[in-house]
Each structure stands twice: as C-alpha cells, then as structure tokens.
Chains A and B, each alone.
Chain A
Amino acid sequence: MKGYAGKFLRVDMTTGEVRADVLSEDVARRFVGGYGFVGHTLYNEVPEGADALSPENVLCLWTGPVAGTTIPVSSKYIMGARSPATGFIGFGIASGGVGSELKAAGWDGMVIKGKAPTLKYLYIQNGNVELRDAIPYAGKTTWETEELIREELCDDEVRVSSCGPAGELMTCLANVTNDRNRQVGRSGMGAVMGSKNLKAIAVRGTGSVEVANLDELVEFSRDLYKRCRGPATEKYRLYGTPANVLVHNRLGCLPTNNFQKGTFDHAEMVSGERMLETLVKKVVACPSCPIGCDHINVVKDGPWAGTVSSVDYESLELLGPNCGVDDLNAITKAVELCDTLGIDTISAGVTISWAMEAYEKGLITSEDVDGLDLRFGNAEAMVEATRRMCLREGNLGALIADGAARAAEKVGQGSEKFAMVNKKLEWGAYSLRSLQTATLGFATSVRGACYLRSGSYQPDVKGTVDRYHLDRSRGKYVFDGENLYAIIDSLIICKFTRGIYKDNDEIAKILRLVTGFDITAEEMIKTGERIHNQAKLFNVKFGVGRGDDYPPDRAFEEKMYDDVNDGAIIIRDEYDEALSGYYEERRWNEEGIPTRELLEDLGLDTKLGV
C-alpha cells in the first residue's frame, strides 16, 4: 500500500509488551484512516461496559494516509478512547509534528491497552519501540515534559505528546498537548493516558514516506499552497479565529455570562483585532502548513506579564465573554494554564461560567469556592479557578474539575438547568438560540457538544437559512456536513483548508494521488457515511439514545435578550421535528439508532441495527 505505512503498534501497558500488527488494505479502503480507524478500532476492541478510566479501555492513536506528505496541513493525528467525560466515543485531532513523524517512523498508529505498574512513556524511534520510565516526569507540565524528554533522549527533533498533571489526576476533561500549542483538546483523552500510567508518547522517524504518484502530488501541492495564501484563508492568516468575536457579537451569537446572552458590552476589548494589536508577537505554522494560523500571544505587563500561549476563538470566548471577562491578558494566562497543566479550554470556560452563575445565585457558597469572588467579569478569579480546576485543588477544584454536568449533579438546586452541556460535554462558543442549525449539529454530534464533525454553523453564518428557527429539512445540512467532514478527519487534513478545494472530486484526488486507490467523489462521500455510522455504532453499544441528542434546557426555556436578540429561543416542537428529520436523512430510527438495512448497505456490523 502507498501512503500508509502498512503497520501499527499494539502496546500492552500491563505487561510492557509491544508488537507490530498489520494494517489491512480492506480496513484502509473502507475506513481511510484517522477518525475512520478510531471508530473501527474502538467499536471492535473496547469491551462492553468497560469503564473509561479502567485498564480495559482502549486508547488508540491514528494518522491518515496523507500524514507526512506535501498535502497542505497533513501532519495531524487523532487519539481516541471511550470518553471519561461522556461515556461515549471520545477523540480529538491535533496538528503539530507528531502525525508526520510517526509516518516517517514507519507506523500508521498504535492501539494501547492495560495499565502500567508505574508511570511510563512510549518511545518510538523508527522500528525501535520501548516503554521507558516516566517517574521523573510525574507532575510535570506538558511543556516541561517535552523539553525534558528531548534532553533525556538527546534529540531536539523528537516530537512529544503528553498529558499534564490533570491527566495524571485523571480529570475527565484532561487534554493532551504536543508541540506546545497543539492539543487533543476535548473529551478527556489526557485522563485515559493517565489511567494507563502513560505520561507521554515520543516519536522520531527518519524513514521515507511513500506515495503512489509523487510528481503529480508535488505539482498539486504547489497549486494548493498558492490557494492557501489567497482569500479563502485570509481570516486565519491575519487574525486567526479570534476574528469571530466582533462578528458574532454583531450577530448576537457571542455566548456571554454562561450563555445567558449573545452580546457582550466589552467585545472590543477581547476582539481579534485588539489581540493582534496588543498581544500577538508572531504567527507560526504547523509542519506542512502554508496557511499559518497560530497566533502566539505574549503578555507584556500586569500580573501575568511574561505569559505565552496560542489563543484561538473558542478558548478566548469561553474564558472571556462567556465568563464576563474582558481582559485579554487574563485569558492568555488561563489558556496557558490549560495547555500546560492539561485540561480542555472549552470545558474549562463553560464549567467556570457555570460556577460563576451558581455562585451569583447563591447555590454555592464562598467556602465552596475557596473564598474567591467568583462572579462574572472577575478576571483574577477566572484565572485562579482555572488553575484549581486543572490541579483539583481546594474545594473549588474538587467541585469543578470533572466539568459542569458533574458539578451540577453534586450541587443540585436547579443548577443542572444552566450546566451548558450535551452528553455531559461542555458546549462550544456558538450561541444556541441564535444559531439553531449549529445547535442541531452540536447536539447530535457523536462526541457531544461540538460542530467539528459537521460544520453545522455554516448555513447559519452564511445566511442560507433562518438561524432563529428549525424545520424538518435542516438535518440534511448536518448529514452532508458530517459525511464530508468524516473524510476530512480520516485523511486527516485541516478544516481550514476546506475552502481551497473546488469540489469533492479534488479531495478524492488527494486520496488517489497518495494511495493510488481509484475512488470517485461519490464513493468517497459514501465512505464518509460509513465512517460516521461506525462512530455512531460505538455510542449505540454504550447506550446512546434520542435523549442524548438535545441541547441544554436553557435553549428551550429561557428567552435570550441582548443588544441584538429580542426573545430568541428554540421551540421544542421545531427542534423535535428537525431532529426527526435528521434521523430520517441518516436512515436511523426515531431513537437515532441505525437501521439494519443501512448498516448492510454500508458493510458494517448489523448486530446493533434496528
């Protein structure tokens, strides 16, 4: 096979055994790579009922066939496991250099089971693979871990993915960091690493990456690089995604004060424009990326002077306006804490905003929050709350470390109503009531509360639909988005390049040039449908039902009033119709379970079909 290394690692943390396994061409053709392989591995290998933080859970890391090639922004990898946050399929895609390095080392991925007796890290150096002692790195931040492992191995070119102290503590929201600024952010993969006593994965590869048609691939890449410097990517290059702040504010879909409102009075102070003017030192790129979207903030003054972190829209928005905070320095600090100590910024922001609302409503006391004045707008309190959450420190840390849903369960008193979660995972920075197609995509997402599987905000922000209402036809947008994005997440290429491709056939061309597989655009989309349904089957195996595909109650029960919105709300009947319409489009039943007929058509296991 071309493109693929053709083999992957099987690691048993309990026994320390590491062995090679073959990647079959059949699996490669049917599931492409990345996200497709994660669904396939987890569905087949995670035992029914296995606890997410037990040795029985399976942690896998996969690349796609394009990793290590010249296709723009192809150095990505995905980590997946049963999520400790949701109990359903968990995974996250990160860029940086790990994906391409692993391919150069001669591996497509790894499947990790068991639990080591003491803290270890996995070191892959081409064909030499071993588990090494990581006890000296216990409690170290992700940045320290990368530096120290490079020192130990005497190799600054080693790429390192690690969990922070939060992962070692098995916090449900723990993330994984590589190359400092890139994260496998959501769904708690860092906690799964910690539960296996796996502190880090270090990779160094010096082999060649074989593709089917190198000459044509290089010429195609040359053209794609030019397109990556054009209008389709301008926003990412100049401002990065923080450019969304003022625009979302203008549209009334900037979550503010725990999603109570959609506009923020101080939006200018935390805008992408302001950030570029006052904080951005440089914009850097991941390996193989001609766009360069990573805006690196350096705080110059104030209590957090010297802080360095890469700040994206969602992190900024949810730790900022969503917490009522208008201080970019404080936000930069909170992001740095999350990246180094190791929790997801999105879950952090939305959990802290929950705590702020609970505190302001008197549902939690000063003692519960360790005496912090945890009110909306208090930047110092937001930063300190972030730190405590990462380290499970104090009463506050113990309360909120595992996210808003679990904290609300503990506190009760109606606080569950404003835990902004779906499938117990915190909602992203897209307002529910004023971007309703987005909401449908977020709530039906297999991972929970996220648009990354569907891009479902697009019809709303492109003005194609009425963003304040839903109807039965809306599901088609989510369906189409999910099938295409399943391919993007399996190849794995960066979603910021989606605008450079003229049509799906150009994306299929990538696969043809790299692997030599003769695939049409239609076959590719059908493959995407298969990949999506495989991930869905994992959730079915673990008990997902229609009730898990709803947004939080605030969306239905509270009208939103702010500078733009005059009583925006989701009408439950409309949502139900739209959800049923989505299931129908998907050929699932009214509970959202795939039909046997569909599964046969896609060549998937029919055992759980209806």
Chain B
Amino acid sequence: MPEEQAIKVEFFGPFRDFGKEAVVPANQPVSFDQLVAALVGQLGEPFEERARKSNTTLIVNNRIISPRRRDEVEINPGDKVSFALLLGGG
C-alpha cells in the first residue's frame, strides 16, 4: 500500500518481544488507543498490557511523547512511531 496510508511502528527494549517492526494501515489520524488496538489485532492480547504500562514512551517521527501525554497524541498516516521505555541515565 502507498506509504502515506500506513503508520510504521518500531519496537525498542522489551517491546522487541513483539518483533522489531510493524505496519498499521491508516488513512486518517489515529489516537494512541486506536494504534494500540490495531497492534493488538496483529500481535495479540499481551501487547495491550505492555503498551499501557506507565513507563511506555512513544516517539512520533522525532518527537518524544512522554507517558503522561500519550492520550493527547495524534498520529498521522505516514508517521513513524517507536515504542520504548522511559529515557535517561548513563
């Protein structure tokens, strides 16, 4: 399908239990909830709990969406979304 009609998803850290990447068809903007629902459809129920944990951080293109702001985010077709844990430390 044309690139613009899908959301590319990437997994880091423990999210790699579900694979390295996924593609979610989309022809309009989706919310975090909708994205998770679509991914649960592809990856199974366990993804739901992992995605909704309090330390799940999203990166949309190269913008960081902290756990607290997940519910406000709007993801557009053509965007790249990464799932990771909270950052920081060295």
Q: Does A associate with B in a complex?
A: yes
Residues in chain A within 8 A of chain B (CB atoms): 231-232, 234-236, 238-239, 241, 243-244, 246-248, 250-252, 272-273, 312-314, 428-430, 451, 455, 457-458, 461-464, 495-496, 499, 564
B76 touches A (CB below 8 Å): no
Q: Count A-B contacts at CB 8 Å.
A: 80
Beta-carbon contacts under 8 Å, B57-75 to A: 59, 62-66, 69
Beta-carbon contacts under 8 Å, B1-32 to A: 10, 12-14, 16
Chain A residue nearest in CB terms to B15: A273
Task: Compute how far the CA of A501 lies from the CA of B28 in the bound complex, rounded to whole angstroms.
Answer: 40
Given A235-B86, A243-B85, A458-B88: A463 and B63 within 8 A (CB)? Answer: yes
Least CB distance, B44 to chain A, in whole angstroms: 20
Q: How many residues of B contact A (CB 8 A)?
A: 23
Q: Which residues of B contact A495 (CB under 8 A)?
A: 89
Chain B residue nearest in CB terms to A318: B90
Residues of A contacting B: mostly:
helix
Q: Which residues of A contact B89 (CB under 8 A)?
A: 235-236, 241, 244, 313, 495-496
CB <8 Å contact, A462 and B66:
yes
Known: A236-B89, A273-B12. 11 other contacts (CB 8 A): A235-B87, A238-B14, A243-B13, A244-B88, A244-B89, A272-B13, A273-B13, A313-B89, A457-B88, A462-B66, A463-B69
Q: Which residues of B contact A499 (CB under 8 A)?
A: 86
- Residue from A241, A246, A429 whose CB has the most chain B CB atoms within 10 Å: A246
CB <8 Å contact, A455 and B88:
yes
Q: Which 6 A-B pairs have the closest CB atoms?
A: A463-B64, A314-B90, A231-B55, A235-B85, A461-B87, A462-B66
Choose one: B13, B65, B85; the contact of A463 (CB below 8 Å).
Answer: B65
CB <8 Å contact, B86 and A463:
no
26 A-B pairs whose Cβ atoms sit less than 8 Å apart in the complex: A231-B53, A232-B86, A235-B13, A239-B13, A243-B84, A244-B89, A244-B90, A246-B84, A247-B59, A247-B84, A248-B87, A250-B59, A250-B82, A251-B59, A273-B12, A313-B89, A314-B90, A428-B90, A430-B90, A457-B87, A461-B64, A461-B88, A463-B63, A464-B66, A496-B89, A499-B86
Q: Which residues of B contact A247 (CB under 8 A)?
A: 12, 59, 82, 84, 87
Task: Compute how far the CA of A455 lies from the CA of B85 in the bound complex, rounded to whole angstroms.
Answer: 17
Q: Which residues of B contact A462 (CB under 8 A)?
A: 64, 66, 87
CB <8 Å contact, B84 and A234:
no
B54 touches A (CB below 8 Å): yes
Beta-carbon contacts under 8 Å, B26-56 to A: 53-55
Task: Compute how far the CA of A495 lies from the CA of B12 in the bound complex, rounded to whole angstroms.
Answer: 23
Q: Which residues of A contact B82 (CB under 8 A)?
A: 247, 250
Q: Which residues of A contact B14 (CB under 8 A)?
A: 234, 238
Q: Which residues of B contact A236 (CB under 8 A)?
A: 89
Q: Which residues of A contact B55 (CB under 8 A)?
A: 231-232, 234-235
Task: Compute how far the CA of A496 lies from the CA of B86 in the bound complex, rounded to whole angstroms.
Answer: 12
Q: Which residues of A contact B84 (CB under 8 A)?
A: 243, 246-247, 250
Chain A residue nearest in CB terms to B60: A463
Q: Which residues of A contact B85 (CB under 8 A)?
A: 234-235, 243
Least CB distance, A262 to chain B, in whole angstroms: 10
Task: Compute how far the CA of A244 lies from the CA of B59 in the bound complex, rounded to whole angstroms.
Answer: 13
